[in-house]
């Protein structure tokens, strides 16, 4: 991973924003200045089954981060699971955090306690924003410029693969939140292989474990964690290697189908993060192959799934093809003028350049400053 290469106006910004990485088990608090973490993170147990204890933990963690910050913060900005009314800072009924059942006005509580604006968003949204500002998107545009290409990308779909299947969409530096703050809830895309289920049933930690158990012929309770299944697939641990490879291949197929739907609507690069991204060599080829798949027409012909070709940016040969492009000159009818035409439109699917946690933190920082400056 690389240090975030923020635009100069952000990298030189001396304002401090407090952040929180809210997990089911632990809360991690920090402070960002100029896009860089400037305090040692504070980790506290979430106490997610006890609302009073959980809220006290959140206050205590932000107090600790605030006290360690080099100057008084200007805002709190952090990711928290949904469903939620993010603009109002109200957290809804969370499956993994039962203490919040019935709705909790977390943002307003923190604003009163710290006398600072509080911004809360989905982790997939903030991940995508961080990668759009300082990660994959600017890197690809720099590499296109170095290759002498005029093409530049402005849209990005960020996908987080881990406990669940999350996503965020960024267009021209701005996140798409939706009118009910539910944009990019990709986990609810219909499952390609089981029309009764959503994609997350396979594109998740539990999905990898379930697929391995099915192909290995063992109960789900005996199925190892994805990290172990990854090692089995690579031949580095004992187990059913064929089942391990198939579990990740199926994971990639279902994720690719869901992301193809997203790209059809967004038309941009895709960046992948989350805990399962570390096994990308096992699922990314299947994911990109699925995006480049086809539909059958009633006439028996094949219709490309996408209007553009998807490239695996983690594969050196595919990356070179993506950066090289393919163009030719066309003569303008009735004129001597010639124009350059690219007959094949291309998008890329790449891995996080910042690391998932760093991308979320950078996204939270950028989102807060944009809101404070009236650009949100």
- The verdict on residue 186 lying in a domain is yes
Domain of 318 in residue numbering reads as: 136-351
If one counts the domains in the chain, the total is 2
Same domain? 164 vs 217: yes
Residue with tokens 């035409």: 341
Residue with tokens 């509080």: 118
List CB contacts of 160: < 8 A, sequence separation 6 or more: 123, 124, 127, 166, 167, 272, 273, 274, 356
Same domain? 271 vs 155: yes
Same domain? 94 vs 243: no
- The verdict on residue 129 lying in a domain is no
Same domain? 264 vs 323: yes
Same domain? 97 vs 165: no
Residue with tokens 């099915």: 214
Write the Ramachandran bin of 40: left for phi over 0, alpha for psi from -120 to 50, otherwise beta. Answer: beta
Closest CA to 127 of 100, 88, 165: 165
Query: Exposed e or buried b for every residue in 296-320, given b needs 16+ CB within 10 A?
Result: eeeeeeeeebbebbbbbbbbeebbe
- The verdict on residue 360 lying in a domain is no
Q: Let me know how long the chain is.
A: 376
Output the pTM of the full model: 0.93
CATH code for the domain in which residue 202 is found = 3.30.420.40
Same domain? 56 vs 97: yes
Residue 175 CB coordination number (10 Å): 26
Closest CA to 245 of 216, 205, 282, 211: 282
Per-residue pLDDT of the chain (376 residues; tens, 9 = 90+): 445 567 788 888 999 999 998 877 888 899 999 988 999 999 999 898 899 999 999 999 999 999 999 999 999 999 988 888 999 999 988 877 888 889 999 999 999 999 999 999 999 999 999 999 999 999 999 999 999 998 999 999 999 999 899 999 999 999 999 998 889 999 999 999 999 999 999 999 999 999 999 999 999 999 999 999 999 999 999 999 999 999 999 999 999 999 999 999 999 999 999 999 999 999 999 999 999 999 999 999 999 999 999 999 999 999 999 999 888 899 999 999 999 888 889 999 999 999 998 899 999 999 999 999 987 6
DSSP result, 129-171: HHHHHHSHHHHHHHHHHHTT------EEEEEEESSSEEEEEEE
């Amino acid at each position: 991973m690389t240090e975030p290469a923020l635009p100069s106006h952000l990298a030189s910004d001396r304002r401090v924003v407090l952040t929180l990485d809210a997990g089911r088990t632990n809360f991690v608090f920090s402070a960002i200045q100029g896009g860089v973490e400037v305090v040692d993170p504070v980790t506290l147990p979430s106490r997610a089954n006890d609302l009073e204890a959980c809220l006290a933990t959140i206050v205590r963690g932000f107090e600790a981060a605030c006290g360690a910050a080099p100057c008084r913060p200007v805002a709190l900005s952090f990711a928290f699971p949904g469903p939620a009314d993010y603009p109002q800072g109200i957290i809804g009924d969370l499956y993994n955090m039962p203490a919040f059942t019935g709705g909790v006005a977390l943002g307003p509580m923190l604003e009163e306690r710290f006398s600072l604006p509080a911004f809360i968003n989905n982790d997939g949204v903030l991940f995508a924003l961080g990668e759009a500002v300082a990660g994959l998107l600017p890197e690809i545009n720099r590499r296109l410029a170095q290759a002498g290409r005029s093409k530049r990308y402005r849209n990005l779909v960020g996908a987080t693969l881990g406990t669940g299947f999350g996503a965020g969409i960024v267009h021209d530096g701005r996140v798409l939140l939706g009118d009910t703050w539910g944009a990019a809830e990709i986990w609810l895309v219909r499952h390609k292989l089981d029309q009764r289920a959503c994609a997350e049933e396979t594109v998740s930690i539990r999905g990898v474990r379930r697929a391995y158990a099915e192909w290995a012929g063992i109960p789900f309770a005996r199925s190892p964690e994805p990290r172990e299944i990854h090692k089995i697939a690579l031949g580095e641990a004992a187990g059913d290697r064929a089942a391990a490879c198939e579990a990740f291949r199926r994971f990639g197929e279902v994720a690719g189908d869901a992301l193809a739907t997203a790209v059809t609507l967004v038309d941009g690069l895709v960046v992948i993060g989350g805990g399962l991204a570390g096994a990308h060599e096992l699922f990314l080829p299947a994911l990109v192959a699925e995006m480049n798949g086809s539909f059958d027409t009633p006439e028996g012909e094949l219709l490309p799934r996408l209007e553009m070709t998807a490239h695996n940016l983690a594969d050196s040969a595919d990356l070179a093809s993506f950066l090289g492009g393919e163009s030719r000159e066309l003569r303008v009818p009735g004129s001597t003028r010639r124009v350059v035409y690219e007959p094949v439109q291309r998008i890329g699917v790449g891995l996080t350049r910042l690391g998932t946690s760093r991308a979320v933190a950078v996204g939270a920082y950028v989102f807060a400053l944009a809101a404070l400056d009236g650009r949100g």
